[in-house]
Every structure is written in C-alpha cells, then in structure tokens.
Chains A and B, each alone.
Chain A
Amino acid sequence: MELISGQNTGLSGSELVIDMNYQHGVNFAGEVDTSAFLLTNQDKVRSDSDFIFYNQPESINGAVVYSKTPTGGRYVVSTAKVEPTVDKIALTMVVDGSSTVGHLASLSLKVDGQASFNVPLDNRSEKALIVGLIYRHNGAWKFKALGMGFNGGLAALAINYGVDVDDEPAPAPTPILEASKPTAGVSLEKKLQEQAPHLINLAKPVSISLAKHKLEHVKAKVAFVLDASGSMTQQFKQGNVQAVLERITVLATQFDDDGQMEVWGFGERHKKYPDVSLSNIKGYISGIQNSGKRGLFELLPTLGGVNNEPPVMADVIKHFKNSDEPVFVVFITDGGITKTRAIKDAIRESANYPIFWKFVGLGGHKYGILEELDDFTDRLLDNTDFFPIDNFKTVPDNVLYDKLLTEFSGWLAEVKRKSIIR
C-alpha cells in the first residue's frame, strides 16, 4: 500500500523490517545519515540512548536494531520488545552538508510488504526529516507516512525530540555566516571512525554545538596554545591536557579549513610544534613531552618552568595576522598570570586582525586579566572570551563545546562588518 504524507495504516507481525532509501540528485552536496528516535507519549526521548544511529545501532533491549546500508538504513523493530514507555518510533534522516532534502532525487520508506512512502521532494528546504512513524494505537502498531522536518538539520531535530542539547541560547543568526562556504561532504563521524575511533562519541556534540552557534558552514583556522609551566604538572599527568587537545582536534576536524591545527607550547620560552590532526592525535602530548631532554620543572623540553604569555601571543599574531580566514585560538592556561599589561597590548593589537582568542582556564586559579576580559573596552572590538574548567573530568563534552564556541560567531560577524576579513 502506497501512502501519502499524513496517511496511516495498521501493521501486522511482531518483527517489522523497514528500509529507508535515498538517491542523490545531480547537484547534491553532502552526506545523508539515517537514524531513529524512540519516543514517549510526550514525543520526547527518555535519554540519549533512545537516539539510534550507526554509532548506537541498537536500542536498550534490542527492540530497534539499525544498520546502515549503501543507500540508506534498515530498521528491524521487534514490537514485543518495545518498552511500554515507548509510544512511538520516529524514522528520520539528516543531510550533513550544504544541500537540503530538495536536492535528493528520491527518498522512500518501505515497511516489508505492508506499506511504502515516497517523500515528495520538490522545493523542499529541510535538512532533516521525520520520514515516518511507527506507533501504538489502541493496542496495535501502526505506520504513519510524514516526510516533514526541519531546516536546521540534526540540531533542530534533536532539540525537537529532547535529545541532550545544552540550554545556552545560540547567538542570533547573521546572514554573513549563512553565506559562508559549505562544509566538506564527508561526515565527521566517518572521519573519526576511520582515523580516531576512540573519539567517535565526540561527533554528535561537535555537530550539535556548531549548528547551535550557526557555525556549521564556517571555515576557520584553529590553533592550540598550551601553558606548559610547572604548575600545569597535574593537568599533564592526569591526561587532561591530552583530553582537551583531543576535543579541540575533533572540533578542528569539522571547523578548520584543512583539519590541521597549529600547536604552540609555552613556558618561559615558546615553541611551535607539528600540526595536530586526527591522524597523529593519539599520544600527541606525551610525544612532544618526550621529544627532547626535559629540565627540572619543565613539562615540555627547553621551554622552562614559568609562564610567560606575551612572547607566544606575539608569535601567534605574527603567524596569523594576514590570514584570509578567521582564526580561532584556544589558549589553555592554569592562571598565575602577572604580565597583564603586555597581554592586554597583544590582545589590543590582535583586534585589528582576524584573530579570536578563547582562553580556557584549566584546573587553576588567579586567572587575572583573563577574568576581566569582558570589561576591557579600549580595543577595536571584543576578540576574546574566557571560561574556567575547575575539574575537567566533570564537564560534559556538549557543555565544553558550547563554551568554546560562545562569542565566536558574534565576533566573526563584527570583523566582517569592519572589513578585517572578507
């Protein structure tokens, strides 16, 4: 039985095999990801484990088993295993890339021999669709064809169904950002699966945070500046520095123009290290720590044990001042900052260039000037933000990414308005 959007039909059988299939149109740019959400009668997930996709292919008790296929996805629903608190299973798809579903040649859903639905695709602007629903009705299971969704893609779909998205409001969208270049077609999940499978769980929070901050189509250069003074010893030892670097590297994979992130370390002196990317992220920090002979109180060889921020900032500015793309510098420090005037001078100078500084306080105290950055007005524009992480292990990834991206898109709109960058 071929259904139209809105139409429903009763289903029989205790095991439903449902196939979603799509075909790219000639101008389609991006990737299609198929997924499902287990929903309560309030149309919400009970927890993130109710979001089923290729990286979480089974619901808690195997009631829904998903598998990716070359042209879509297959869902096997064992209706007897569906928990009573689950009222509905939404079968969904998302376009990751610059295209909308309107650029697909076809999109269909088939419930093994019982029902099928071809989604009308002309003039569609959505990037995420609820293609169909499997739901309880008067003690039986039914299928509803829908094909309705969200222009905002995965983030909007996830928010609609109550999947863990941080409550910090996204900045207002600006047309400048929306006109930026599309992302590369290969999805972040796939890159992680191939190059750094231990980081695959970061794909979702990164994608959602970028979308929330309207940065999914923005390309930037991402840099990582690391305080390697002696007081950082515990942060290095506990693996927090490596963990933070991994999280920023995954962000850079999606956000950076070439997926390669520049890295500086500083103590009393500073040094630029090899670019980091997914291919060399594993053990990167211990690698640079062991790249030479370390003196007493040194965390990185030859840099010395005290913190001296202005020279490394000057080097970063020199490196990026003529960049054609916005530069997002993540500056990790545990505080103890004393060179306030010189740091202010560096920030003030860099406000004339496409450089944004995100200062991250890691397990420290006495952040000094960093805490006052928002009141610091005698510069061309606000090109800094600061947030402290008291205990890295307790900060959820989605919160971390949201805090990292806060203020960046507002700054980017401002530098474009001031023609610092095209």
Chain B
Amino acid sequence: MATVSLSKGGNVSLTKTDPTMKKVLVGLGWDARSTDGQDFDLDASAFLLGENSKVRSPEDFVFYNNMRAAGGAIEHTGDNRTGAGDGDDESLKVNLDTLPADIAKIVFVVTIHDATARSQNFGQVSGAFIRLVNEESGKEIIRFDLSEDASTETAMLFAELYRHGSEWKFKAVAQGYKGGLSSVCAEYGVSAN
C-alpha cells in the first residue's frame, strides 16, 4: 500500500485502507539544527477525548511529562529535545483494542517548544515530518511534511482517530494552531499546569 499523501481535512477510513491495524504509531521526526541558535525542540502529544470532545481527566493528555495513559493503551516513547538521530525522533503508540470504551477520539498534536520566545516555526526546521504507521506491519498510512507544508506554523493538530460504530476511522486534519500547546490544552479541557 502506498502512503496516502495528506490533504487538509481529508478522511481516511482505516477499515478500508488497513483493516488489520490494531496498533497505531504516530512518529515525529526532524533534523537537528546545523546553524547556530537555539535548538528546535518539537513535541508530539495526544489527547484522549470522550464523546464531549474533552479529556476525562488531565491524565488523558499524553505528552513529554505524562508518557503513559489509559492503563498503558497509549504510550509516549520519550522526549527528544534536539532532533538528533534518524527516523522518528519521538513517537506515540496506541493499542486500539485496549483503549477504554469511553474514549471516543484521539487527537494528535505537534508543537515547537517555546516557539514564540525562540522565534521559530516549522519552516525553519529541516526534514520535519509527522506520520501515522501501522506499528505491526510497519506500513506508513499517512505522512505530512511539516517543513514544507506547515512552514509558518508553530503548532499543528495533525490527525484524529475516532470511533465509528465498532470501527476506527482516521481524519487528516493538518490544522495550524496559534498559541502553542497551552491553547490546544484549553480547547480540550486540560487546565493550565
């Protein structure tokens, strides 16, 4: 299966494109800065949302300081603060089968840490991408080129996984977000701190 290239707002039915997918990996990668200046510190995060599109509790916000939620159904593999290393520099792993029933939707977000203070955006970062992969088969379902196609953004709502009856569906959102991670948190009912 070829990678679907993502257009904003596009819907992908996982049941059609990859019906066997049980484990989802969202990978974020970028190149370490070669020029002088502050490092580019990109962060991948996820929000586990109920039917009301809010988190059930602050623990449903999975990020570099809360790396495991929903009894281990979702895990963050660790914070990379520079982009050093090949491939995915940060990833989130979700086991669709063990997610609690009251989680209706997962939203994946990528942000640049301290972007405003550092005057940074995705376009200044080389080789920045976010992708969604079937963790068991290694198949890449979708990939978004942050450096090229979100160049002036500092935060982006990448994608949503949501229940549709007994299936999971996938929606490519690719929506830029002003105000960084804290404004995304406010949107989904995670209070500051």
Residues of A whose CB lies within 8 Å of any CB of B are 4-8, 43, 120, 125-126, 130, 137, 144, 146, 148-152, 156, 160
Contacts and interface: CB of A to CB of B under 8 A. Distances in A.
Contacts of B125: 6
Contacts of A130: 35
Interface in B122-149: 122-126, 148
Contacts of B126: 43
A7 B126 CA distance: 12
Interface residues of B, number: 15
B151 A148 contact: no
Contact of B151 (A8, A151, A156, A160): A8
Contacts of A120: 119
Contacts of B121: 4-7
A8 B119 contact: no
Nearest to B150: A6
Most buried by A among B119, B126, B151: B151
A150 B36 CA distance: 5
Interface of B: 34-37, 119-126, 148, 151-152
Most buried by A among B122, B123, B148: B123
Given A4-B152, A6-B152, A137-B148, A151 B36 contact: yes
A4 B121 CA distance: 10
A194 B120 CA distance: 43
Nearest to A5: B124
A148 B34 CA distance: 10
B91 to A, nearest CB: 24
B36 A146 contact: no
A125 B151 contact: no
A6 B30 CA distance: 14
B36 A6 contact: no
A57 to B, nearest CB: 25
Given A5-B124, A144-B123, 17 more contacts: A4-B152, A5-B121, A5-B123, A6-B120, A6-B121, A6-B123, A6-B151, A6-B152, A7-B151, A7-B152, A120-B119, A126-B35, A144-B151, A148-B35, A148-B37, A148-B124, A149-B36
A146 B37 CA distance: 13
Given A6-B152, A7-B151, A137-B148, A126 B36 contact: yes
Contacts of A43: 34, 126
A116 B179 CA distance: 26
A398 B123 CA distance: 36
A7 B37 CA distance: 18
B35 to A, nearest CB: 4
A43 B148 CA distance: 16
B31 to A, nearest CB: 9
A101 B36 CA distance: 13
A6 B35 contact: no
Given A7-B151, A137-B148, A149 B35 contact: yes
B34 A160 contact: yes
Nearest to A137: B148
20 contacts: A5-B119, A6-B120, A6-B121, A6-B122, A6-B124, A6-B152, A7-B152, A8-B148, A43-B34, A43-B126, A126-B35, A126-B36, A137-B148, A144-B151, A146-B124, A149-B36, A150-B35, A151-B36, A160-B34, A160-B35
Nearest to B123: A6
Nearest to B153: A6
A125 B38 CA distance: 12
Nearest to B5: A138
A151 B37 CA distance: 9
A43 B31 CA distance: 12
A137 B148 CA distance: 9
A5 B151 CA distance: 9
Contacts of B151: 6-8, 144
Closest 8 CB pairs of A and B: A6-B123, A6-B124, A148-B35, A6-B121, A151-B36, A7-B152, A7-B151, A6-B151
Contacts of B119: 5, 120
A7 B123 contact: yes
A230 B89 CA distance: 66
A146 B120 CA distance: 11
Contacts of A137: 148
Contacts of A125: 36
A239 to B, nearest CB: 42
A124 to B, nearest CB: 9
